[in-house]
Amino acid sequence: MTEVLQKLWDVRVFLAAVVLFAVGFVTLLLHRNLMKKIIGLNIMDTAAYLLLTALGFIEGRLSPIVLGENTDPLLYVNPLPAGLVLTGIVVSVSVTAVLLALTVRLYKRYHTLDLDVIYATAMKEHGVN
Amino acid sequence: MKNGKKRSIKAFLRDWDAGRFDLDAAAAEPYSAAPEGESAEGTATPEESLPRRDVKAYRAVYPLLAAMLGAIMIVFLFLAVLDLPAFGKAGNPSENEVVRRYVESGLSETGAVNIVSGVILDYRAFDTLGESHVLFTGLAAVLILLLELDGKKEEPDLGLIRMKADSILGTAARLLIPIIVLFGIYVILNGHLGPGGGFSGGAIIGAGLILYAEAFGYEGLERFLNFRSFRIICLAALWFYSISKCYSFFCGANGLHTVFTTGTPGRILSAGLILPLNIAVGVVVACTMYGLYSLFQRGRI
């Protein structure tokens, strides 16, 4: 029992990332409101950032800002995940902006944010029965 | 509908149900919110007004399938996470020779005290160039989708969205905006010496511009940040980035340190091209943040 608890405690931050990812994924799938779908996608992005930064973190080490001549790699945490998360955040902002703009267009056209209503209306318009 | 009367969503759906839905008229009709009184009355919800049986069956099955898919995915992710190395311990597989190389020789090769800045703007500068272009492309896509090209001025209800006369917001903005913009400039210029860089500093300056637009209106900002200067600034920053790093891209990331010296680490004018690149990235990010806000709020920059 203690081994299992120890194992779970060792991966606690990754488990938090999985829970966050699950929240976002279920929000994305189960809500019919387009805004809530976009919020779910953003929560999933956040889970990915949490996983990446947690993988690079090593307890008791400094942030990778090299002061003086001390370039011992055992002193600093991994600088690479920070760069990757930076890329992810920028891409996520762009994707969110484009999604919101598309949602605005859909709302202007169909006067609703409900994806099922939009889909049914669009099928009817194109003569699919 | 013909005489420009505003319709609610329910009336729209009722027309559609009865086959009285006119596609061209609906497309030509500008957006109008549902009137206040009509939303409370009426019993037909969108679900009940949909007559088709297969749509109903789809709606009954879809949540079950979605929940099952989510549960399966979560179980797999959980099992995968259990196999990861322990959090925060030394000797993780991610702590390999790449990181050692970056930390050991990053300072002497790039001149940046902040290793993350050295990584993203020197070793992986091509990646950051792509990022800036992703941001710019996103802005361009939003511009295409939201810009009112046909010149019809559809001014939104200004009393609802802009609190120009709000004295609390005005006073707070007057106090905060200089500090916010100054702090953003500091974060950009300090990107190679400490925590910070073009992306974070640009986002801070963009927030300051948005606060200004919200408190005092767009007229003051439009004197120097209209659509024309916006294009020039963004494209000049991206062009500067591309041209100043193209030698590095063509030489396989072998820098020309005889021309761009790394300088003394810790000085503000050091680290070769990292400081100008940070400024270029910060300008693009600040313009994009403000441009997105302005486009979403009033349909133009």
Hey, which residues 6-25 in chain B have their CB within 8 Å of chain A?
A: 7, 9, 12-13, 16, 21, 23
Chain A residues within 8 A of B25 when measuring between CB atoms: none
- Is residue B230 within 8 Å of residue B291, measured between CB atoms? yes
The per-residue pLDDT for B64 is 87
Q: Shortest CB distance from A14 goes to which of B31, B50, B87?
A: B87
Structural tokens at position B197: 């860089």
Residue B2: the pLDDT is: 42
As a whole number of angstroms, the distance between CA B254 and CA B245 comes to 11
What is the block-wise mean pLDDT of chain A (129 residues), using blocks of 10 residues?
A: 83 89 89 91 93 83 75 78 88 92 84 83 74
Q: Is the pLDDT of residue B45 over 70?
A: no
pLDDT at B148: 62
Task: Quote the pLDDT of residue B1.
Answer: 41
Highest-scoring range by mean pLDDT, B60-69, B116-125, B283-292 = B283-292
Residues sharing a CB contact under 8 Å with residue A105, sequence separation 6 or more, in sequence order: B145, B146
- pLDDT at B39 exceeding the cut of 50: no
Q: From the CA of B262, how many Å to the nearest CA of chain A?
A: 15
Q: Is the pLDDT of residue B296 over 60?
A: yes
Q: State the total domains in chain A.
A: 1
Q: What pLDDT shows up at residue A47?
A: 93
Residue A110 structural domain: 2-125
Structure tokens given for B99: 């990181």
Interface TM-score (ipTM) > 0.90: no
pLDDT tier at B223, thresholds 50, 70, 90? confident
Q: Minimal CA–CA distance to B23: which of B12, B7, B11, B34?
A: B12
**CA geometry: angle at A106 spanning B69 and A127, to 5°?**
85
Tell me which residue in B27, B81, B292 faces A97 most closely, judged by beta carbons.
Answer: B292
The CATH number assigned to the domain holding A119 equals: 1.10.287.3510
> What are the tens digits of pLDDT across the range B137-183?
998 888 888 876 545 555 555 545 555 567 888 888 889 999 999 99
pLDDT in tens, B76-131: 988 888 888 878 777 777 777 888 888 877 777 777 788 888 888 877 878 888 88
**pLDDT confidence of residue A43:** 94
Structure tokens at A68: 């003086």
- Model pLDDT, residue B4: 44
User: Are residues A58 and B95, on separate chains, in Cβ contact within 8 Å?
Assistant: yes
Residue holding tokens 């948005």?
A: B210
- The rounded percent of chain B whose pLDDT value lies above 90 is 8
Question: Residues of A74-102 as b/e, b for ≥16 C-beta within 10 angstroms?
Answer: eebbbbbbbbbbbbbbbbbbbbbbbbbbb
- As a whole number, mean pLDDT of residues B212-238 equals 84
Question: Contacts of residue B89 in chain A, CB cutoff 8 Å?
Answer: 10, 58-59
Sign of the four-CA dihedral B291, B295, B298, B299: positive
Asked whether the beta carbons of residue B138 and residue A94 sit closer than 8 angstroms, the reply is yes
- Beta-bridged to residue A114, according to DSSP, are A33
Q: Which residues of B touch A102 (CB under 8 A)?
A: 145
Do B99 and A78 meet the contact criterion of CB atoms below 8 Å apart?
Answer: yes
CB contacts of B206 in chain A (<8 Å) are none
> Per the CB < 8 Å rule, is A79 touching B103?
yes
* Nearest-Cα residue of chain A relative to residue B6: A111
**Nearest residue in B to A5, CA atom:** B82
Q: Residue B12 is nearest to which of A17, A21, A111, comparing CB atoms?
A: A111
Q: How far apart are CA A25 and CA A4, in angstroms?
A: 27
Query: In terms of C-beta density within 10 A (0-12 exposed, 13-18 middle, 19 or more buried), how is residue B171 classed?
Result: exposed
Distance CA A106, CA A108 (A): 5
Residue B32 has pLDDT above 70, yes or no: no
User: What's the pTM value of the predicted model, to 2 decimals?
Assistant: 0.77
Mean pLDDT rounded to a whole number for chain B: 75
Residues 6+ apart with CB under 8 A from B160: none
Is B147 an 8 Å CB contact of chain A?
no
Residue B34 has pLDDT above 60, yes or no: no
For residue A15, what are the contacts with CB-CB under 8 A and spacing of at least 6? A8, B78, B81
Q: How far apart are CA B266 and CA B173, in angstroms?
A: 34
